[in-house]
């Protein structure tokens, strides 16, 4: 008799709404105040219009986000669910050590701290005691919780646990969709202001990123620790130049 494979339980409406909430540009973590080097690319003439901005952000998605922060979130969610603090610290240290400029490191620290503070002030629930313990552990990560590690904690608080200590593949994929779409919306808004572009152009760029996000998530999920990387030399150069740029709208 053939073995019947159980299908993962769908996310509850509450969990799905929580992930949408985490993707919102209105989340009070300051993501809207960063361009992640895009403003410097505009200032240097590398990005001058819609096509350049779309290509720049697509490359950043595949070469930077997928291979770094997305891959960290994918590993940090089960680490938080397993209460594996050693693994969480390892991932947090990796993010801090691989940020290539001061402003990119300050960004991930500030957004991580802000998300922990938002989680702390949001209110309790059925798992309030367990959540409070993990929040305290996250807040105590030295010298600060990073954005992808704090985001993974927020996800771990809302996703169902399908097997002991692990999120189902489907639930984890939805969490990565939330993380990446939130990044895409913030970056498109940065492009609209910095290039500058109209709202219609911004929506076309966002559509291009939405089309590219599933492949980026597949890449991140498949990466073993040995292949995770944060190596974007031109982005690092532009970010370093942005730190002393004469006129700036954004903090990175």
Contact 88, 79 (CB under 8 A): yes
Report whether pLDDT(218) > 80. yes
pLDDT for res 79: 95
Confirm whether pTM is higher than 0.75: yes
Intra-chain end-to-end CA distance of the chain, in Å: 59
Report whether pLDDT(161) > 60. no
Report whether pLDDT(124) > 60. no
Nearest CA among 206, 169, 221, 193 for reference residue 23: 206
Which range among 7-21, 62-76, 160-174, 179-193 shows the weakest confidence by mean pLDDT?
Answer: 160-174
What are the tens digits of pLDDT across the range 101-112? 999 999 999 999
pLDDT for res 167: 53
Percentage of the residues of the chain whose pLDDT score is greater than 90 = 76
pLDDT confidence of 16, banded at 50, 70, 90? confident
Report whether pLDDT(93) > 90. yes
pLDDT for res 128: 60
pLDDT for res 2: 44
Nearest CA among 151, 207, 143 for reference residue 31: 151
Phi and psi at residue 220, to the nearest 5°: -65, -40
Burial status of residue 3 (CB atoms within 10 A of its CB: 0-12, 13-18, 19 or more): exposed
pLDDT confidence of 125, banded at 50, 70, 90? low
pLDDT for res 247: 85
196 Cβ contact list (under 8 Å, min separation 6): none
Q: Determine the average pLDDT of the residues in 67-75.
A: 97
H/E element, 59: helix 50-60
pLDDT for res 8: 52
What are the tens digits of pLDDT across the range 162-210? 444 445 678 899 999 999 999 999 999 999 999 999 999 999 999 999 9
Averaged pLDDT score across all residues of the chain:
90
Q: Determine the average pLDDT of the residues in 48-74.
A: 97
SS3 sequence of 173-209: HHHHHHHHHHHHHHHHHHHHHHCCCCHHHHHHHHHHH
Q: Determine the average pLDDT of the residues in 227-236.
A: 93
């Amino acid at each position: 008799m053939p073995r019947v494979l159980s299908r993962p339980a769908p996310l509850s409406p509450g969990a799905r709404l929580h992930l949408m909430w985490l993707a919102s540009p209105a989340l009070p973590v300051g993501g809207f105040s960063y361009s992640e080097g895009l403003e410097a690319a505009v200032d240097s003439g590398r990005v001058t219009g819609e096509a350049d901005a779309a290509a720049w952000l697509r490359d950043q998605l595949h070469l930077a986000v997928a291979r770094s922060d997305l891959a960290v979130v994918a590993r940090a969610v089960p680490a938080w669910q397993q209460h594996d603090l050693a693994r969480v610290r390892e991932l947090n240290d990796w993010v801090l050590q691989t940020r290539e400029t001061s402003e990119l490191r300050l960004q991930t620290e500030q957004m991580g701290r802000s998300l922990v503070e938002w989680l702390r002030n949001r209110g309790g629930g059925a798992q309030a005691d367990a959540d409070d313990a993990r929040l305290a552990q996250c807040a105590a990560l030295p010298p600060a919780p990073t954005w992808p590690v704090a985001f993974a904690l927020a996800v771990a608080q809302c996703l169902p646990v399908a097997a002991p200590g692990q999120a189902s593949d489907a639930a984890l994929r939805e969490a990565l969709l939330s993380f990446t779409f939130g990044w895409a919306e913030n970056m498109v808004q940065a492009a609209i202001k910095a290039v500058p572009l109209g709202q219609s152009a911004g929506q076309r760029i966002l559509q291009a990123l939405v089309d590219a996000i599933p492949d980026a998530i597949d890449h991140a999920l498949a990466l073993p620790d040995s292949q995770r990387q944060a190596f974007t030399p031109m982005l690092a150069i532009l970010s370093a130049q942005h730190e002393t740029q004469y006129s700036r709208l954004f903090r990175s």
